[in-house]
Chain A
Amino acid sequence: MELLERFAAGDLDAFESLFRQYQGEVYRWVMRIVRDPSVAEDLTVEAFWRAHKAHAGFHPEANFAAWLRRIATNLALDHLRKRRPYVELPDDLAAERKADSVVQQQTRAVLRKAFAELPPRLRIVAQLGLVEDESYAEIAQALGISAGVARTRMFRAVRLLRKKLRRLGVHA
């Protein structure tokens, strides 16, 4: 019996094989969204836990990685919704890479703050598309929406971000 068939039948060894095969990929994807290693680890485990619980509903012919990515994306989106509106990124991820002026550093901080205040469903699209350079097709598949909706959300995110930045006195 194939690995995915055994997983769908509830075989724990098959689940462990899939976990070991895909844990890095799921973690990297979630990290792109939440940018916090400990949260990404927790959400990775939670995504696999949900996949395990839903094993009976999984069709072995389906794309396991895409299914898992969608579960993980929904969890990451829930996390963004529950988190405080603005949380500064961990030091190593938000670190200033160059020896910049104070003004430039402040501008970056304002931009990060404005970005963190975007509605989560817009922010996740802008984060994956603009920052991480994922394609609309990838984003749409992960969120379970059409590429057209992903494009619309991207546009709305950029427009809203520009408006927020203007209000905060940053030209963008």
Chain B
Amino acid sequence: MNKPMRDGMNDNMKDGLSADEFATMREELRDAMPPLDELGHGAELRRDLWPDMRRRLERPQVGVPWFDWALLAVSGAAAIFFPALIPALLYHL
């Protein structure tokens, strides 16, 4: 076990969880979910992802321009603070 995890165990002991309990939980977890390094091929990238990245870069961006958001915010604020304007706004839509 690496040093930082041992330090963590000492801290946990202060919080009422003994080092043994901490270590037992760690072992049981590693038994149920083996670390990827122990699985060999499991953690290695099996193909080059650059073609995927190119497609992602070339995908057209769909987004609302900031000006539209600003306009919406101003309209919302106007509707809240000046409700009498709502009929006039609706008339012009």
Instruction: State whether A31 touches B36 (Cβ < 8 A).
Output: yes
State which residues 103-129 of A face B: CB under 8 Å.
107-109, 111-112, 115, 126-127, 129
Instruction: State whether B29 touches A131 (Cβ < 8 A).
Output: yes
Instruction: State whether A27 touches B25 (Cβ < 8 A).
Output: no
Give a binary string over B1-22; 1 marks a CB under 8 Å from any A CB, 0 the rest. Answer: 1111101100110010100011
A7 at the interface (CB under 8 A from B): no
Instruction: Given A131-B35, A133-B1, verify A151-B8 contact (CB < 8 Å).
Output: yes
Q: How many A-B residue pairs have CB under 8 A?
A: 116
Instruction: State whether B56 touches A155 (Cβ < 8 A).
Output: no
Chain A nearest Cβ from B28, distance in angstroms: 6
Q: How far is the CA of A115 from the CA of B31 in the complex (A)?
A: 13
A75 at the interface (CB under 8 A from B): no
Q: How far is the CA of A133 from the CA of B23 in the complex (A)?
A: 12
B89 at the interface (CB under 8 A from A): no
Chain A nearest Cβ from B7, distance in angstroms: 7
Could you say which residues of chain A place their CB within 8 Å of the CB of B46? 37
State which residues 36-51 of B face A: CB under 8 Å.
36-37, 39, 42-46, 48-50
Interface size on A, residues (CB 8 A): 49
Instruction: State whether A19 touches B53 (Cβ < 8 A).
Output: yes
Could you say which residues of chain B place their CB within 8 Å of the CB of A108? 31-32
Instruction: State whether A27 touches B49 (Cβ < 8 A).
Output: yes
Instruction: State whether B1 touches A136 (Cβ < 8 A).
Output: no
Chain A residues within CB distance 8 Å of chain B: 12, 16, 19-20, 23-24, 27-28, 31-32, 35, 37, 41, 44-46, 48-49, 52, 89, 92-94, 97, 107-109, 111-112, 115, 126-127, 129-133, 135-137, 147, 151, 154-155, 158-159, 161-162, 172
Instruction: State whether B2 touches A48 (Cβ < 8 A).
Output: no
Identify the interface centre among B32, B36, B56: most chain A CB within 10 Å of its CB. Answer: B32
Could you say which residues of chain A place their CB within 8 Å of the CB of B4? 135-137, 147
- Contact among A32, A97, A159 for B43, CB-based, below 8 A: A32
Q: How far is the CA of A35 from the CA of B38 in the complex (A)?
A: 13
Q: Closest A residue to B54 by CB, please name it.
A: A16
Instruction: State whether B42 touches A45 (Cβ < 8 A).
Output: no
- Contact among B1, B15, B32, B48 for A155, CB-based, below 8 A: B15
Q: How far is the CA of A28 from the CA of B39 in the complex (A)?
A: 12
- Contact among B31, B39, B45, B53 for A92, CB-based, below 8 A: B39
**A–B Cβ pairs within 8 angstroms, 28 of them:** A19-B49, A19-B53, A23-B49, A23-B50, A28-B36, A31-B42, A41-B45, A44-B45, A49-B53, A89-B33, A92-B39, A93-B42, A108-B32, A111-B29, A115-B33, A126-B29, A130-B25, A130-B29, A130-B30, A131-B33, A131-B35, A132-B36, A132-B37, A133-B35, A135-B3, A147-B4, A151-B12, A158-B25
